[in-house]
Chains A and B, each alone.
Chain A
């Protein structure tokens, strides 16, 4: 434990800025993964245990696309689009077969794909740590805000994630398809009663969730090391986020993700050995006091 370091940081604007930005990028990446998880759960009542794999594929797709094209924008696009297609195939071919089955079967199918996807990545890209490297456009001197160092890429990352969150929020609130998705989350029977193709909605939600996770992976690729199995710890953290925020709540996912991001970044100063522990501790406190999460409606 190192309370002095934490107190010292809280007293210094420079450190505060640095830690907050790093907390925000952790939080925004987590949000993109968690919001897909929460959407899929909301609409399909399935916890996509293999959701972390989409984050992983997003990162690897982006890295490969960047290596071939040297274009950062194309890398992001490939990361997001590739995982969207993957999500659609995954849902239509496999998950759709176990909707009626019990939770155990759903977990097992996802578990199988965690194993398979990790090995596929190992086969294609090799088992060792990979790095995409910072795109040349962002290899510029960092900004200084109130004395704190902020790499420009961090700002872009936070910005892109925020835009994605806003587009998603507005899309669900305003567009017809968004309304159908929200209706489906509320009452699955009703949508099929309206004559809307539920298969299309389900596949679409999986593709959307996959795309958001893939985008998170692609955004993370320049600043994180890539390894098979990188998706799993992200999955666990996003799950904690959704539990804290409330399963099925998008606002909850955002708040939960930002809280976890800040806990991680400031916790690493004060409790370097217990950073992850803090996160779990926070989850337990939320669960005990509000079993359905901060923004959840249904009692767990």
Chain B
């Protein structure tokens, strides 16, 4: 919308417009989500390839994780280098509950989320007050603490061997996660639902509070926003979705390994965000698909995939200085008006 048009729009007309637009955008999101889910769910009917379905399941796990990290990095400006701990926590929490208690899967799912929320609230309460670089490293330190706890508490976690012997997956509500297609559909459903919920968070009044904190936390506090509480809230919310990603991963590999809680998961999450771009909601999802593809390709050709990955990161960080979707968005807005306006 240009300035001239805005001037012509009578004040009385813009009132309902604001509300209808926000109503409409929500229904549009739900519609897109339903279509995306339908397409994903129909995939096994047309492609019999197990590898493709496996790839989508992994994308679900990492996509949930990376998008939740973007709630912190992109929307709130909190660079967490320890977000992977909640991915690991989800995988281990879910795996252990299933192995040790034998509760139904939905119960274990909810219980794991509750545990994650409590742990995230405690760690967040300590971390969110800290300035950006301190925040990044203290979250990283907590990640290392959880990782080393997993390694040393062998009687519970199996130490460096991980949770072995498989995670029991009893059928519930007619869903049998031991069945590959069922597992696939469930992962897709969790992904789509998770993305939809995170989209809602991003577009809610709270989402705009987060943007204000990212832009200018001091000013936000001077219009009456409790910055600490808002940051803690989003820290816990993001942890819940990361934990869900970890649970998808645990269901997929039927186990949990210390690598799920290692700092490199967080590093990859940050890189995925960078790769896809932090200015669009789906950027991290694009980044996930790119990185997993890149990883799979590179590991096929060389055992030194750290070098290749490192060079790619350098290309993006020093060369482009922004992510792929950031580029697309910039190109799109420039084509549309070029004046720096936003819709």
Residue ranges of A at the interface with B (Cβ–Cβ < 8 Å): 47, 94, 97-98, 101, 103-105, 107-109, 111-116, 118-120, 122-123, 232-233, 236, 239-240, 243, 247, 273-274, 276-277, 280, 283-284, 287-288, 291, 300
Contacts and interface: CB of A to CB of B under 8 A. Distances in A.
8 nearest interchain CB pairs? Answer: A116-B310, A115-B306, A112-B313, A119-B306, A112-B310, A115-B310, A108-B317, A280-B145
A119 B73 CA distance: 28
A96 B141 CA distance: 26
A118 B267 CA distance: 15
A291 B2 CA distance: 47
Given A103-B136, A112-B313, A287-B138, A236 B144 contact: yes
Contacts of A108: 270-271, 274, 313, 316-317
B299 to A, nearest CB: 13
A276 B304 CA distance: 30
Contacts of B313: 108-109, 111-112, 115
9 contacts: A103-B79, A108-B271, A115-B306, A119-B310, A122-B306, A236-B141, A274-B152, A280-B144, A280-B145
A203 to B, nearest CB: 17
A108 B132 CA distance: 14
Interface of chain A: mostly helix, strand, loop or mixed: helix
B271 A111 contact: yes
Contacts of B270: 104, 107-108, 111
A97 B317 CA distance: 10
B318 A98 contact: yes
Contacts of B140: 236, 239
Interface centre among A47, A118, A273 (most CB of B within 10 A): A273
A112 B314 contact: yes
Contacts of A276: 144-145, 148, 152
B134 A112 contact: no
A98 B321 CA distance: 9
A300 B310 contact: no
Contacts of B141: 236, 239-240, 243, 280, 283
Interface stretch (B40-48, B123-131, B173-181, B204-212): B123-131
B230 interface: no
Contacts of B310: 112-116, 119
A111 to B, nearest CB: 5
Interface of chain B: mostly helix, strand, loop or mixed: helix
Contacts of A284: 126
Contacts of B318: 94, 97-98, 105, 109
B304 A122 contact: yes
B129 A291 contact: yes
A239 B135 CA distance: 12
A239 B317 CA distance: 23
Contacts of B220: none
Interface centre among A112, A113, A236, A284 (most CB of B within 10 A): A112
B136 A118 contact: no
Interface in B107-158: 126, 129-134, 136-138, 140-142, 144-145, 148-149, 152-153
A274 B150 CA distance: 11
A103 B131 CA distance: 11
A245 B2 CA distance: 54
Given A108-B271, A108-B317, A280-B145, A116 B307 contact: yes
B79 A118 contact: no
Nearest to A47: B133
B280 to A, nearest CB: 16
Given A104-B79, A276-B148, A277-B145, A239 B307 contact: no
A69 to B, nearest CB: 29
Contacts of A109: 313-314, 317-318
B309 interface: yes
Interface in B293-343: 304-307, 309-311, 313-314, 316-318, 321
Contacts of A232: 263
Contacts of A111: 267, 270-271, 313
B81 A107 contact: yes
Given A243-B138, A276-B148, A287 B317 contact: no
A105 B79 CA distance: 11
Contacts of B271: 108, 111
Interface string B85-111: 000000000000000000000000000
A115 B291 CA distance: 15
B88 to A, nearest CB: 16
Contacts of B316: 108
B126 A107 contact: no
Contacts of B130: 287, 291, 300
